[in-house]
Amino acid sequence: MTTSPTANRTEALSDLAVDNFREYLRIPSVHPDVDYVPCVTFLQKQATSLGLPLKTYYPAKPNKPVVVITWQGTDPSLTSVLLNSHMDVVPVFEEEWTHKPFAADMDADGKIFARGAQDMKCVGIQYLEAIRVLKTNAWKPKRTLHLCFVPDEEIGGEDGMKTFVTTADFKNLNIGFSLDEGIASPDETFSLYYGERAIWHLEFHCNGQAGHGSLLHENTAGEKMRVILDKLFDMREEQKKILENNPEMTIGDVLTLNLCILQGGKQSNVVPPEFWCSMDCRIPVTMNTKDLYKTFESWCAAAGKDVTIVKEQFEEIIKPTELNDKNAYWVAMKQATDALGLKIKPMIFPGGTDSRYLRELNIPALGFSPMNNTPVLLHDNDEYLEKHVFLRGIDIYCRIIPALANV
């Protein structure tokens, strides 16, 4: 394809895309206890309007659907391209919002406010609407395209993509490459993610002498917890300085540690027998995880006896997707974005997405959300996406999708 089919995108298609986006945002697929049935119903309607078949899989639980809409390629013997997105969104603190978080209000400036506007219902709809434009322009893919809508990405994907990739149904999709979410960029560049940090959620349990709060007991849990917290925040400060002193680095290139839970004690005059804390740790792909864990064990030893680590979540580093001439999908995507004049900034994703489950199977995967000059508002109050940014994203996918499908 030498020219973008978006040249023939009509105003009616733009209006339909915005209407579909806002309808999808109004579905409160919010944790905890997400009801995915309205999402499935909505996607069935979209598949019918596109004349494409839809299958719903339940790889883990009957209330955790994986929806796949398929556009068969002209050469189905080739490996297929997966266009992945998740249906779920994170909780909201409605009192902190100036718009109802599931009303999908659009203000006079074209800002569409809703939970999921950036993360990531926008991308799911942009895939669908790009395909609508491509079909309207009589274009056909060489490789089969699978649009996948998964549950529970925001809570680790245990009952979603993590389980789905282990099934025969996933294997039968014959995936050769996956495109998934990225993050908005506040400047003119577009962020592109080719790898992710490993996620560790660790609990440090400190046990010690209990007793009356008026005495100076030896070997208390609080004293031990102080050692752990001092070392945690010292390491955190070291990583902050590394990031500050290296302007070419991004947050995905350093180790992040954050204290998220601190608990212990029931009464202000009783020294408790235990304190425990939970730490969120994100490990860059350049770091040795065995050495890091030994460091954490040394913290426990320095704190004293009866200090232990509980592994709540403990992932290994997964090899990033290569960005070189050996990766034909990267070459195709780079050519497509270059043709559009986009400034792409490759990075390691700071959090975790479903792409890690694909990369673990040696399937190349890239994370990309076509939102630049846009404040990063995922998981934030008053999350929004501007209408013109949303529509331009459809145009961008109208160039990227054909490039990937024709590899």
CA of 345: how far to CAs of 43, 187, 352, 372, in Å? 32, 11, 18, 11
Mean pLDDT, the chain, rounded, equals 96
DSSP state of 120: T
**Domain extent listing, the chain:** 5-196+319-405, 198-314
- Strands 66-71 vs 145-150: parallel, antiparallel or unpaired: antiparallel
pLDDT tens string 304-342? 999 999 999 999 999 999 999 999 999 999 999 999 999
- Residue 186 CB neighbours (<10 A): 13
| R_g of the chain computed on alpha carbons | 24
The string of DSSP codes covering 207-250 is E---EETTS--SS-HHHHHHHHHHHHHHHHHHHHHHHHT-TT--
Partners of 31 in the β-ladder: none
Look up the CATH architecture of domain 198-314: 2-Layer Sandwich (3.30)
Which positions are catalytic?
Answer: 88, 153
- Res 1 pLDDT > 60: no
How would DSSP label each residue in 332-401?
A: HHHHHHHHTT--EEEEEESS--THHHHHTTT--EEEE----S----TTSTT-EEEHHHHHHHHHHHHHHH
398, with CB counted inside 10 A (0-12, 13-18, 19+), is: buried
For 188-230, the pLDDT digits (tens) are 999 999 999 999 999 999 999 999 999 999 999 999 999 999 9
**Closest by CA position to 20, among listed 178, 185, 159, 131:** 131
Summarised one tens digit per residue, pLDDT across range 129-148 is 999 999 999 999 999 999 99
Q: What is the pLDDT of residue 351?
A: 87
Q: How far apart are CA 335 and CA 349, in angstroms?
A: 22
| Interval 109-121 mean pLDDT | 98
Distance CA 351, CA 311 (A): 18
Instruction: Tell whether the model's pLDDT for residue 245 goes beyond 80.
Output: yes
Average the pLDDT over 359-386 and give the result.
97
How confident is the model over 356-372, as pLDDT tens digits? 999 999 999 999 999 99
Mean pLDDT of 83-93: 98
pLDDT at residue 62, as a whole number: 98
The model carries a pTM of: 0.91
For the segment 82-105, the average pLDDT, to the nearest whole number, is 98
Note the pLDDT of residue 9: 75
C-alpha closest to that of 393 among 138, 127, 55: 127
Architecture of the structural domain at 5-196+319-405: 3-Layer(aba) Sandwich (3.40)
Which backbone phi and psi does 87 adopt, to 5 degrees?
Answer: -85, -25
234 within 8 A of 331, measured Cβ to Cβ: no
- pLDDT tens-digit map of 49-59: 999 999 999 99
Contacts of 252 (CB under 8 A, 6+ apart): 193, 195, 196, 197, 284, 347, 348, 349, 350
pLDDT of residue 3: 43
Tokens of 188: 């003119």
